[in-house]
Amino acid sequence: MEFTIIIIIFLIIAVVIAVGIGGNDETFSVIYGSKILTMKEVLLFAVILAFAGALLLGEGVAKTVGNSILASNIEVTQVIVMTVLISTAIWLILASALGLPISTTHATIGSIIGIGIFLWGITGLNWGMILYLAMWWILSPIVGFFGTYFAYKIMYKFKENRLNGFQDYEGYEKKFAIIILIAICITAFSRSGNDCSNAVGIVVGVGKVDVGFLLIITGLSLGCGLVVLGRVVIKNLGEMTELRPSTAFAAQLPTAAIMLIGTIQKIPLSGSHMLVASLVGLAKASRTPMKKGLWKIILVWILTFPVSAILSIIIYFPVKFFI
Amino acid sequence: MKLKKERENISQINKEFQEEIRNGAERLFNYMSDFIENRLDKVGEKFQEIILCEKHCDRIKEKYIEVLFKDKRALPFLIEDRYKIITSLDNIMDMSEIIARYIQVFPFEFYEDIRDEMNQLNKLYLETVNQLLNCTLLMETSFSGAYEITFEVEKWKRQAFDLKFKILHIIFQKKDEPLRISLTWKIVTLIFDVISGAEEISDFLRGLIIKYPGK
């Protein structure tokens, strides 16, 4: 196949992947849920930050997930990387269209496991690493749940003892609104830089394409995904329980802390899972009712592994045929 | 800067609204005093003042609600609570207007033997409304102060309750014109309803104060 055509196909795939990732970006959901910004403002902020993050931080970020999940004697080829990315993108777009937040990390690892078992059998996978990751995936939402629960209780005591009158509460919540907005903006900026590698990695690997141009395309695609599909995910997650700037902060704090630990320990964790667990923790602590869609979200989480695994096996054949 | 200006604006309108209700309550108190003392020649002029006061309250309330809902950066739960408070206070003024209209529609000579009790009830009305207004103002800056006042309002409602039945006990034993008895009974009940309404608002405020740390 002609080299230019391959580049164009890769570019299209990169765009699809970026749209999928942008569409399932729930970073701003607490900002929307606590009514700090309206949906239009949220999308404006999210798109600008996604674009800026992709452009300024995207270069040089590389994914090494595949190497640790597959057995050490297996070589990760471009066909495998592409298969994994396309199947992840399809599942992300499907979930985003349904307005359900899923984990990009889980979808990616599910695809790797699927293709790994299909091509090399059970011995093709590094089971020790998978079990280690599984332990973290179970532990992190539990920590998110209890972290938020106790953060809320501490805040409750503070408010009860220190705040006196509507104006005090107004000032208190306004301070938290600024703090959480800054924190979320930084998260969105760095997250898009990181997510960018999922999309452009394959094209960069082919070479001969200007990286700056690629990052602009990815940034725009992340933005498109956010505007077209992301708004539903942001709305659904933001409205899962009643949020105020201070309680949104209580929910976001454990998520950010565990994500930081995960990054330092090089463990791919799911921000979406932890955020949902934190929101459930918040609802329990504040005794506010949860939105009914929780079970649907959990079901889609459980389905993420088998679906992305099956998708990767199906997609493997056309990808192999073209490359 | 804009935010500070908006907040100043809303608290200014709130003070204006509260001042107008205070005026209205005081006018109804004077109007009722004249009625109880059978100074019926004076009630006509005062009646018009009460009606004007109520209309003015409605206009200020509309202005307040407009500013309240226009502020997109305001916290939703605060908008909701401030809205509930202002509409309940407006109800108090509406109920006061009804009392004035009731007397105006058929002025009659008031019973002398229940004058003291009626004057006490009238005084309780004015004090309860004034304290309720103080309570709502304190909700902005001091929950603890507002919390204390809610118990005073409750105490006064109980006193009004006793007075109401004391008056009813006297008038129901009269073998007088039924219309006079019926109108007296209605006016006593209406005044008590305003006091009772004020107590319900203060109960709501107390609940709000308890719930607030959880918000």
Structural domain span for residue B53: 2-211
B178 in contact with chain A, both atoms CB, cutoff 8 A:
no
How close, in Å, is residue B19 to chain A by CA atoms? 20
CA dist B176 and A83 (Å) reads 98
CB contact under 8 A, A164 and B72: no
CA dist A254 and A260 (Å) reads 10
Nearest CA in chain B to A282: B214
Question: Which of B7, B76, B215 is facing A35, going by the closest CB pair?
Answer: B76
- Answer whether residue A252 shows pLDDT above 60: yes
Residues A84-133 have pLDDT tens digits of: 888 988 888 888 888 888 888 788 889 889 988 998 888 888 888 888 88
Nearest CA in chain A to B74: A170
Say what the pLDDT of residue B7 is: 63
pTM confidence score = 0.76
Say what the pLDDT of residue B50 is: 92
Q: Comparing A21-35, A289-303, B20-34, B167-181, which segment has the lowest mean pLDDT?
A: A289-303
**Residue A262 pLDDT level (bands cut at 50, 70, 90):** confident
Ranges of residues in chain B with a pLDDT under 50 are none
B4 in contact with chain A, both atoms CB, cutoff 8 A:
no
Say what the pLDDT of residue A62 is: 42
3-state per-residue secondary structure call for chain B: CHHHHHHHHHHHHHHHHHHHHHHHHHHHHHHHHHHHCCCHHHHHHHHHHHHHHHHHHHHHHHHHHHHHHHCCCCCHHHHHHHHHHHHHHHHHHHHHHHHHHHHHHCCCCCCHHHHHHHHHHHHHHHHHHHHHHHHHHHHHHCHHHHHHHHHHHHHHHHHHHHHHHHHHHHHCCCCCCHHHHHHHHHHHHHHHHHHHHHHHHHHHHHHHHHHHHHC
- Answer whether residue A61 shows pLDDT above 70: no
Which ranges in chain A belong to alpha helices (H)?
3-23, 29-33, 39-57, 65-69, 78-97, 104-120, 127-162, 166-206, 211-225, 231-238, 245-264, 271-286, 294-322
Question: Which of B75, B141, B143 is facing A244, going by the closest CB pair?
Answer: B75
CA dist A293 and A270 (Å) reads 19
Say what the pLDDT of residue A67 is: 57
- Answer whether residue A42 shows pLDDT above 60: yes
- Answer whether residue A57 shows pLDDT above 50: yes
A320 in contact with chain B, both atoms CB, cutoff 8 A:
no
Nearest CA in chain B to A283: B214
- Answer whether residue A3 shows pLDDT above 50: yes
Cβ atoms of B72 and A38 within 8 Å: the answer is yes
Average pLDDT, chain A: 84
A257 burial (CB, 10 Å; 0-12 / 13-18 / 19+) is: middle
Q: Which residues of A touch B82 (CB under 8 A)?
A: 166
CB contact under 8 A, A156 and B144: no
CB contact under 8 A, A169 and B76: no
Cβ atoms of A308 and A107 within 8 Å: the answer is yes
Say what the pLDDT of residue A254 is: 87
How close, in Å, is residue A219 to chain B by CA atoms? 29
CB contact under 8 A, B215 and A244: yes
Say what the pLDDT of residue B2 is: 55
Q: Which residues of A touch B81 (CB under 8 A)?
A: 166
Residues A188-236 have pLDDT tens digits of: 887 777 777 667 765 666 566 777 888 888 889 989 999 998 988 899 8
**Mean pLDDT on A9-27:** 84
CB contact under 8 A, A169 and B142: no
CB contact under 8 A, A164 and B214: no
- 3-class SS of residue A267: coil
Beta bridge partners of A70: A125
Q: Which residues contact B149 (CB under 8 A, 6 or more apart)?
A: B131, B132, B134, B135, B138, B202
Cβ atoms of B137 and B205 within 8 Å: the answer is no
Chains A and B form CB pairs within 8 A to the count of: 47
Q: Which residues contact A303 (CB under 8 A, 6 or more apart)?
A: none
Region class of A287: left (phi > 0), else alpha (psi between -120 and 50), else beta: left
Question: Which of B141, B214, B215 is facing A165, going by the closest CB pair?
Answer: B141
Say what the pLDDT of residue A79 is: 83
Q: Is the ipTM of this complex over 0.85?
A: no
Say what the pLDDT of residue A136 is: 86
Q: Which residues of A touch B138 (CB under 8 A)?
A: 165
Say what the pLDDT of residue A134 is: 86
CA distances (Å), B114 to each of A256, B41, B62, B163, B176, in order?
Answer: 71, 21, 40, 10, 14
CA dist B157 and A277 (Å) reads 48
Say what the pLDDT of residue A63 is: 45
How close, in Å, is residue A182 to chain B by CA atoms? 16
Say what the pLDDT of residue B129 is: 96
How close, in Å, is residue A83 to chain B by CA atoms? 46
CA dist A83 and A255 (Å) reads 30
Say what the pLDDT of residue A58 is: 67
B213 in contact with chain A, both atoms CB, cutoff 8 A:
yes
Q: What is the CATH number of the domain that holds B198?
A: 1.20.58.220
**Residue A64 pLDDT level (bands cut at 50, 70, 90):** very low
CB contact under 8 A, A38 and B72: yes
Count of the separate structural domains present in chain B: 1
Nearest CA in chain A to B78: A166
Residue-wise DSSP of A146-196: HHHHHHHHHHHHHHHHH--SHHHHHHHHHHHHHHHHHHHHHHHHHHHHHHH
